[in-house]
Amino acid sequence: MKLRAILGYTAAALTLLVALLTPFLLMGIFSNGVAALPLHVDEVYSGGPTVRAIPMGAYSIGVHRPVYPHFLQSEKPFVQLDWQPVSALPQHVSDVVDIDGDGQPDVRVSFDVPTDPKAPLLVNVESMNPRYPAMSNVGKDKFSRLIVRVDNAILVRVPLARQ
């Protein structure tokens, strides 16, 4: 019984020590530990990693790896394309993009670039490959089909047709 009491008080003292060390040491250690875990944010949000950059003169188009939603996730598969930097884009963009890198054009993406960064964007996608369906006047209705401005890039997500 005495040993249990000694262990109890020792644990209580250690707990107090944990509290005192938290802002100076432990919070950082725990946060770094979590950050070091092999985890990533769901690609439906992040858009997945960039696999290729297509140079277009003053700007470039980043092509991301296709994203396939999990299990019962409500989104459709999509691929994300980034136009950046926004400052180098013309007032109207209309680019043919080879998404899968096979040397054949897959889509023509057209959108206006307003000078006001908060102005709403709309995109048209003309399909040149049945894998990438056309989109007309799409804003930001779903994660899998949208055009948005994020920092210094304009992101377009093109849904993939069912194979």
Binding site for another protein (CB under 8 A): 1, 4-5, 7-9, 11-13, 15-16, 18-20, 22-23, 26-35, 37-47, 69-74, 140-141, 143, 146, 148-151, 155
Rounded Cα distance, 153 and 37, in Å: 29
Report, in Å, the least distance between residue 136 CB and another protein.
Answer: 18
For another protein, the closer of residues 15 and 50 by Cβ is 15
For another protein, the closer of residues 41 and 102 by Cβ is 41
Rounded Cα distance, 85 and 55, in Å: 12
For another protein, the closer of residues 8 and 101 by Cβ is 8
Q: Do strands 59-64 and 123-127 pair parallel, antiparallel, or not at all (unpaired)?
A: unpaired
Please state the φ and ψ torsions of residue 36, each to the nearest 5 degrees.
-80, -10
Rounded Cα distance, 89 and 93, in Å: 7
Find out whether 53 and 61 touch, Cβ atoms under 8 Å: yes
For another protein, the closer of residues 39 and 55 by Cβ is 39
Nearest to 95 by CA among 131, 121, 123: 123
Report, in Å, the least distance between residue 43 CB and another protein.
Answer: 8
For another protein, the closer of residues 2 and 57 by Cβ is 2
Report, in Å, the least distance between residue 102 CB and another protein.
Answer: 27
Report, in Å, the least distance between residue 160 CB and another protein.
Answer: 17
Report, in Å, the least distance between residue 119 CB and another protein.
Answer: 13
Rounded Cα distance, 22 and 17, in Å: 8
